[in-house]
Structure 1
Amino acid sequence: MIATSRRADRRPTVPCSPPERPGLHFTPPQGWMNDPNGLVHFDGEYHLFYQYYPDDLVWGPMHWGHAVSRDLVSWEHLPPALVPDEQGMCFSGSAIVDRHDTSGLFDGEPGLLAFYTVHREADGDPADYVQEQCLAYSRDRGRSWHKYSANPIIAGPGFKDFRDPKVVWHAPSRRWVMALACGQTVRFYLSDNLLDWRLASEFGDGQGRHTDGPWECPDLFELPVERSSEGAADGEPATRWVLVVGVGAGEQDAFGSFTQYFVGHFDGERFHNDHPAETVLLMDEGRDFYAVQSWSDVPAEDGRRLAIAWMNNWLYANRIPEAGWRGAMSFPRELSLAATPEGVRLRQAFAGEWRARAAEAVKVDTPERPLAVGRHVLLEGGARSAHGRMVLELTAGASVSLDLQQGGHQALELVADEAGVAVRHRRRGQNGDDEFDTHFPHDQAVGRLAGRRVELEWLVDDGSLELLLDGGRVSLTQLSFAQPAGRPLALAVAAGECRVRTLEYRPLKAVPRPKS
């Protein structure tokens, strides 16, 4: 919805302190981190590359940081895969398995290819730069990388913002497709050999949401559509294509950077939007879910589309509290498509690997009677990292505020009428930096839920709170600099009544610190 308002709040300020290392979320070993890129699965390992500047705590000359995992939770840090050189910095991109040596770079064996944007300034002017698409390859399971000698594989087109190549295989046309962010559109390029590319089409002019900032980090994938009795009619296609794009923060936009998506059809050359051009679909209604990317080459028997996002916002990214490192990723998500009365929509779930870290559930007795006006503590104190699930039923006219171990830093506000529930989110916090203190606090409308039954699922961890509502149809991801351990889980009823139908809470065991 992106409808942010600021209501007067005369309560004492809430200080934000440097976070502890999160127990569940990926962070860099030191220095600065932003976009995930190059996500690929190969030989039993998930590879996570990311925009990385190891020498400072703010954005700088971009490297590709690198880590691998077999379970999406425990990560092993590897040396940076790509580092700046005379061609420029190494901006975001994607990676694939060249399974049949289509590129001819692997002597007939499978290998890894990384497509990235090289960025270089002209005459030392940060506002004047060239961006081109380049290729690197690895013959040893991603442990060492070699830049292609004939780079760039796509030269700059004469305008500045030309970046973040996402390469996918389009089986019906038996060709490779590259989606590229170009200003405020996405261009699609085609290739038979992964080395030579031609422009096929462009999408985005007048479509969805635009700000003063550029479009970034496109992703493109196909998913089956899950049907329901209230969903789309029989005879419609069983799958849809999803085009994801990050939208950079505009100078006059109080919300900052965000991620939108389009649902439609891709014929191998052009993307066709299923919805009216003015329709805006957000992957996340929170402030801190950006540069979303999905893993390529996940085994077919797994059957999941797995994605991850950078938990931050360019309005304050360089100013959030730090502890020798700055930046974190969301917990990986499983993406699916659901048919709804409004059309086909993305649905998200936390990747099931969190369950391997789950301790025994904490017994929480749900109140037998509806909760009346007042503050109700549902759980006195919890864990630093935890998974929760709750179902609430509100009477018409009820007004409820949930504090999920945030100690007043954040609250989810629910207001019910006869038709449904209006959802708002409030966040407070200051750290003494003007840029952070201006943009980090907010009070924003999230949207409406049909009916007065509210399903919530969340992950709380040092540095973040991730919320899924309505079976994952609504996602709300927020940085948080509260210390969750020992904070109560509380529900305040300001009007009407609220019944807690179910409440499940599981502490999550700390992940061993990443190996370097």
Structure 2
Amino acid sequence: MNHDDKIIQAEEVLKSKHEEIRKTKWYPTYHVAPQAGWMNDPNGFSFYNGEYHLFYQHYPFSPQWGPMYWGHAKSRDLASWEHLPIALAPSEDYDKDGCFSGSAIQIDDKLYLMYTGNVWTGDDHDHQLKQVQCIASSQDGIHFTKDEQNPVISTAPEGNIHPFHFRDPKVWKKGEHYYCVLGSKTNQNIGQILLYRSKDLVDWEFMNVAATGTGNFGYMWECPDIFNIDGQDILLMSPQGMAPEGYMYHNLHQSGYVVGKLDYETGILEHGPFQLLDYGFDVYAPQTTVDEQGRRIVLSWMNMWESEMPEQKYEWAGAITLPRVMTLENGTLRISPVPELKSLRKDKVAYERIQVNGNELLPKVDGSFVELKVTIDAKDATQFGLKVRVNEDLGEETVLYYDTRTKVITFNRDNSGAGPKGIRQAPVELIDNKLHLHLFLDSSSVELFINEGEKVMTGRIYPNEESIGIQFFSEGEIELLKVEKWTVAGAF
């Protein structure tokens, strides 16, 4: 079956299932999710001809991971989205077992995708595989043709570079050259990234191992992305296999970044320490783009490998985080939801100067599809926060709270309903004894932005549809200086 026929076959399956799937209880209202089947990494996130294009790893035929296709959605404003036909299907000898992750770049009026073609050479998928890098292009941003010269990078470089695990090209242009960075590891299973350059996207020159992990930095670096903010080069990546340290690195794999300077002559990135992108449960494979406003926007897969995914029983799995704007302050990324999301707001409810000592319910502050902004004066409280998606009869609640003694925020989903449990924590300093929280709730997710994006915590939750309560609580007196709540409209 050729490439076009495989896409037609997959589209027929999606169309036959989507209307029923989107009615199921955990399907998102305003997050991108697959129409049916499996989703993981965002791919090819790009701003093309005035619109944002988001591709993603996709298996249309099952809610389990399978031979990867590229799903596709687009948006004019990062708030409302439209599903488009599948862009890539595994159809050639070099990608027959999956069109793995990659990126996109606009050249003149065409959109080019660069991706990893994957072939299993045996049953052991950790060791028996061949990965190559490939190009596809489109005149309209919707229908893509694979390049006849594929694969454009057919073997890993010589040296202490694993011969089979090199993947996830992120491509950009600087000066007269195109560059791409690839995730890799050494033969001793230490994560690293590889830098290439080209003048035409077809003939690629290996420049150098741009960076290699030391210490607790994982056995493989996936989904690298290099970009510049305010004169600083940032490497964003997902290290696999970092060991927990204190309250850090408790997800199976991490997503984070280092800040430094990439030497475009030597191909080496000098950088500082690793920093987490998100302190929650469910962020992986982040990818960025820059738009016509010059903003650096990031999206991530809103799941984690090997986590329980209760939505699979409804024939779908996976979602993408809200789009987030990244800025750099004092060597650290500050991450905030894109302001365009305000267009989805409706039915505002607001309160000011509410004293709380114990538990407090505010009329009309509840719901499943919620944006909530709260500024809290900690006063002399030892602990305070809020519970969301609460149903006391069912014993369901998701708890977000701050401890003034440890200066840590905790996200507790032990009683969130179905699905995975656990807690995640993030160190946070109060600002003039105040805590600013910006919270988004969807059918099966929580995204918490803390102190204007200083920290972010993201997690999937699977509560009962009737679990819609929101409660504020404190040990000691606090003051809710400002509470603003909106119901969030659908994005599709």
Question: Displacement of 1:285 after TM fit?
Answer: 0.2
Equivalent residue letter for 1:134: C
Q: Report the equivalent of 1:257.
A: 253
Q: Indicate which of 367, 371, 381 corresponds to 1:383.
A: 367
Equivalent residue letter for 1:358: R
TM-score, normalization by structure 1? 0.81
Q: Report the equivalent of 2:193.
A: 186
Q: Does 1:458 align with 2:466?
A: no
Q: Indicate which of 444, 466, 485 corresponds to 2:424.
A: 444
Matched residues in 2 for 1:480 and 1:431: separation?
7
Matched-pair contact (CA < 8 Å) for 1:90–1:117:
yes
Q: Report the equivalent of 1:285.
A: 279
Q: Does 1:22 align with 2:8?
A: no
Matched residues in 1 for 2:215 and 2:42: separation?
23
Q: Does 1:165 align with 2:145?
A: no
Equivalent residue letter for 2:404: A
The 5 A counterparts of 1:23-422 are 23-85=29-91, 86-87=93-94, 88=96, 89-99=98-108, 110-127=109-126, 128-139=128-139, 141-157=140-156, 159-171=163-175, 174-183=176-185, 184-207=191-214, 209-212=216-219, 214-224=220-230, 239-248=231-240, 254-269=250-265, 270-275=267-272, 279-296=273-290, 298-299=291-292, 302-316=293-307, 321-339=312-330, 344-367=331-354, 369=355, 371-372=356-357, 374-396=358-380, 398-407=382-391, 408-417=396-405, 421-422=407-408
Alpha-carbon deviations, 1:1-56, whole Å to 9, x = none?
xxxxxxxxxxxxxxxx9643322101111000000001122122211110000011
Q: Secondary structure at the match of 2:274?
A: coil
Equivalent residue letter for 2:278: D
Matched-pair contact (CA < 8 Å) for 1:465–1:480:
yes
Matched residues in 1 for 2:372 and 2:181: separation?
37
Aligned-pair identity (%): 29
Matched-pair contact (CA < 8 Å) for 1:167–1:177:
yes
1:393/1:427 CA distance change after superposition, 3 Å: same
Q: Give the alignment's Cα RMSD to 1 decimal.
A: 2.4
Unmatched 5+ residue regions in structure 1?
Answer: 1-16, 100-109, 225-238
Q: Indicate which of 464, 467, 478 corresponds to 1:498.
A: 478
Kindly tell me the number of residue pairs found equivalent between the two proteins.
446
Question: Displacement of 1:511 after TM fit?
Answer: 3.0
Equivalent residue letter for 1:405: R
Alpha-carbon deviations, 1:228-285, whole Å to 9, x = none?
xxxxxxxxxxx2111100123569975212211011112324353442xxx3300100
Matched-pair contact (CA < 8 Å) for 1:424–1:443:
yes
Question: Displacement of 1:486 after TM fit?
Answer: 6.4
1:138/1:113 CA distance change after superposition, 3 Å: same
Matched residues in 2 for 1:113 and 1:190: separation?
16
Unmatched 5+ residue regions in structure 2?
Answer: 1-22, 157-161, 186-190
Matched-pair contact (CA < 8 Å) for 2:181–2:196:
yes
Matched residues in 2 for 1:403 and 1:431: separation?
13
Equivalent residue letter for 1:82: L
1:421/1:379 CA distance change after superposition, 3 Å: farther
1:351/1:430 CA distance change after superposition, 3 Å: closer
**Which structure ranks higher in relative contact order (CA pairs < 8 Å, sequence separation ≥ 6)?**
1
Matched-pair contact (CA < 8 Å) for 1:362–1:507:
no
Alpha-carbon deviations, 1:414-467, whole Å to 9, x = none?
1114xx8322221125888xxx6xxx2112332232453111111111111100
Deviates more, 1:116-125 or 1:481-490: 481-490
Matched residues in 2 for 1:473 and 1:254: separation?
20
Matched residues in 1 for 2:232 and 2:252: separation?
29
Q: Secondary structure at the match of 1:444?
A: strand
Question: Displacement of 1:210 after TM fit?
Answer: 2.2
Matched-pair contact (CA < 8 Å) for 2:416–2:461:
no
Matched-pair contact (CA < 8 Å) for 2:255–2:276:
yes
Question: Displacement of 1:493 after TM fit?
Answer: 1.6
Matched residues in 2 for 1:289 and 1:280: separation?
16
